[in-house]
Amino acid sequence: MKQKELDGYQEFMKGLWKENPTFVQVLGMCPTLAVTNSAINAVVMAVATFFVLVGSSFLVSALQRWIPSQVRISLYVIIIATFVTLADYSLLATLPAVHKQLGAFIPLIVVNCIILGRAEAFASRYPVKYAVLDAAGMGAGFFLSLTMLGTVREILGTGTLFDIPLFGKGFEPWVTMILPPGGFITLGLLLLLSNWVTKKRAEFLKQVAAAQQEGL
Amino acid sequence: MENLVWIFISTLLINNFVLSYFLGLCPFLGVSGRLETSFRLGMATSFVLVVTAISVWFLNTYVLIYAPYLRLISFIVVIASTVQFIEMAIKKLSPALFKALGIYLPLITTNCAILGLAVFATSRNYGFLEGLAFALGAGAGFTLALVLMAGIREEIEKTGDIPDLVRGTAMNLLVAGSLSLAFMGFAGLFSAG
């Protein structure tokens, strides 16, 4: 297979917006919606996913020559499960309170499609350096969208941010936002926003191109 | 017995796997385009859920008491091999069904509802029968949510009057939000009675 020219910076940046795992690829929905009822949960979840993503991409890429393609998926899943177990126990040791709140959703990182997706689509084909950069970019993009969701939901749902009250006593919390329906609706609206931004940006670029042509 | 019925109903309606635990969202958003396929997928998933619940009970009772840190890895291996096994069995027994399910069959492995069921059943210390009721409720709930969603989507597609910006995932999420809102109404089912 002929490898395309890679640019480390590009591989990192694409995860942030152009191929953002949440808004553009719509992967890994379960943790995205389940743990974003407060900003701190979202941040911890995103950091844990980031760790697993980078770790497993590194290992998959480093071992790619020795992994037979028939059993690759099972091997990837075992590699990922190992890193998740590491993350799970480290969280239990350092932040027991948050670990309790996240509960079953830490083990569920194993079946986060973003991680398996990156292992299969990228890490198993490219050198270690780029695999790690790609994973870091995707992890950062995931972090960005998760934090965004968590912040919006916590501010609207409880009137706080990282447990610090933002509004005066008159604030009436919009409880639905931290309940399940709020997750679906907030993500739906954020997706709309991101679609709109992408569309406006394309229109703007078109106008610029048209203006340049007129100038010539 | 009452306890078992309660577990079944509460997983089916009140704590629906898809609409209030956010488990199994990938197929929920991806495969819910057509009513018939969603029903078939729901059935296959329910079957895997039940088999998983049984194997998880065996693992928890006989193996994992000696090595709790292997929990996650052994669960995922069991799930992956169960799905593989079912795939082979269906292929042998009923090629027609195998063809109808197609790609959705292997994809059940990465359905978070399955691993979620295993993890939840462990953390709640469910026994054999309770685990079974839990799995049946989860499977029925998953099928119910999928079928409802597919029905709504088919109707919306029929009118065809949707702005381009909303079409696709954004709309599906908003529909799922309203469904989830409706299911919240079941929360009073037991405390009221």
Average confidence (pLDDT) over B102-119: 78
Considering only CB atoms, A34 lies closest to which of B22, B165, B184, namely: B22
Residue of chain B with shortest Cα separation from A197: B165
Integer Cα distance of A193 and A212 in angstroms: 28
Integer Cα distance of A121 and A64 in angstroms: 12
Average confidence (pLDDT) over B45-51: 87
Integer Cα distance of B36 and B13 in angstroms: 22
Summarize pLDDT for B61-71 with one digit per residue, the tens: 888 777 778 88
Q: Taking 70 as the threshold, does the pLDDT of residue B114 lie above it?
A: yes
Q: Which of B37, B19, B52 has its CA nearest to residue B104?
A: B37
Q: DSSP string covering chain A, please?
A: -PPPP--HHHHHHTTTTTT-TTTTS---HHHHHHSTTSHHHHHHHHHHHHHHHHHHHHHHHHHGGG--GGGHHHHHHHHHHHHHHHHHHHHHHH-HHHHHHHGGGTGGGGG-HHHHHHIIIIITTS-HHHHHHHHHHHHHHHHHHHHHHHHHHHHHHHSEETTEE-S-TT----GGGGSHHHHHHHHHHHHHHHHHHHHHHHHHHHHHHHHHHHH-
Complex-level ipTM beyond the 0.90 threshold: no
SS3 state at B67: coil
Confidence of residue B27 (pLDDT cuts 50, 70, 90): confident
Contact predicate A190/B175, CB 8 Å: no
Q: Enumerate the residues of chain B whose CB falls inside 8 A of the CB of residue A27.
A: 26
Q: Do A192 and B181 touch (CB under 8 A)?
A: no
Contact predicate B31/B104, CB 8 Å: yes
Summarize pLDDT for B70-92 with one digit per residue, the tens: 888 888 888 888 887 877 887 88
Question: Is B121's Cβ below 8 Å from some Cβ in A?
Answer: no
What is the reported pLDDT for A2? 42
Domain locations in chain A as residue ranges: 8-215
Is the backbone of residue B94 left (phi > 0), alpha (psi -120 to 50) or beta? Answer: beta
Q: Which two tokens stand for residue B121?
A: 């059943």
Residue B167 is given by DSSP the state: T
Summarize pLDDT for A3-62 with one digit per residue, the tens: 556 777 887 887 777 778 777 777 777 778 888 888 888 899 999 999 999 999 999 999
Answer yes or no: pTM beyond 0.90: no
Summarize pLDDT for B123-136 with one digit per residue, the tens: 888 888 889 999 99
Q: Which of B179, B176, B173, B165 has its CA nearest to residue A188?
A: B173
Average confidence (pLDDT) over A143-166: 86
Portion 136-195 of A in contact with B at CB < 8 A: 176, 179-185, 187-189, 191-192, 195
Q: Taking 70 as the threshold, does the pLDDT of residue A207 lie above it?
A: yes
Residue-wise burial string across B154-193, b where 16 or more C-beta atoms lie within 10 A, e elsewhere: eeeeeeeeeeeeeeebbbbbbbbbebbbebbebeeeeeee
Q: Enumerate the residues of chain A whose CB falls inside 8 A of the CB of residue B138.
A: none
The amino acid that residue A90 corresponds to is S
Q: Enumerate the residues of chain B whose CB falls inside 8 A of the CB of residue A84.
A: 72
Residue of chain B with shortest Cα separation from A25: B169
Integer Cα distance of A141 and A137 in angstroms: 6
SS3 state at B146: helix
Question: Is B43's Cβ below 8 Å from some Cβ in A?
Answer: no
Q: Do B123 and A74 touch (CB under 8 A)?
A: no
Considering only CB atoms, A85 lies closest to which of B73, B110, B173, namely: B73
Question: Is B69's Cβ below 8 Å from some Cβ in A?
Answer: yes
SS3 state at B52: helix
Is the backbone of residue B125 left (phi > 0), alpha (psi -120 to 50) or beta? Answer: left
